[in-house]
Amino acid sequence: MNKRPAPEMIDNESPEWTDADFARAKPFAKLPATLQAKLRGRPKVESPRVAISLRLPPDVLEAWKATGAGWQTRMAAMLSSHAPHAKAR
């Protein structure tokens, strides 16, 4: 039985690669350095953030959210500035 693919499953903007497409492709190492840098994504951060679960009163969370975009970054800065300093061992 010859089934046609469902029309919503056909991607005209990104069709399946042909043998000619693969023959024309270049390995990553042979791309210009500027393009390689863009394709690598974000650089690794020295101290990445850690996801946690924190229970807050609803009014506190709403107050932070009401401050607009970037509220999580501002909350982290506030917590950081008020964090107890660790004692040297």
Does the structure show a pLDDT above 60 at 1?
no
DSSP secondary structure code for residue 46 in this structure: S
- What is the residue extent of each domain of the chain? 55-82
Residue pLDDT, tens place only, 52-65: 999 999 999 999 99
In this prediction the pTM is 0.49
* Complete DSSP assignment for the chain: --PPPPGGG--SSSPPPPHHHHHH---GGGS-HHHHHHHT-SPPPSS----------HHHHHHHHTT-TTHHHHHHHHHHHTSPPPPP-
Does the structure show a pLDDT above 70 at 86?
no
Residue pLDDT, tens place only, 13-49: 888 889 999 999 999 999 999 999 888 888 888 989 8
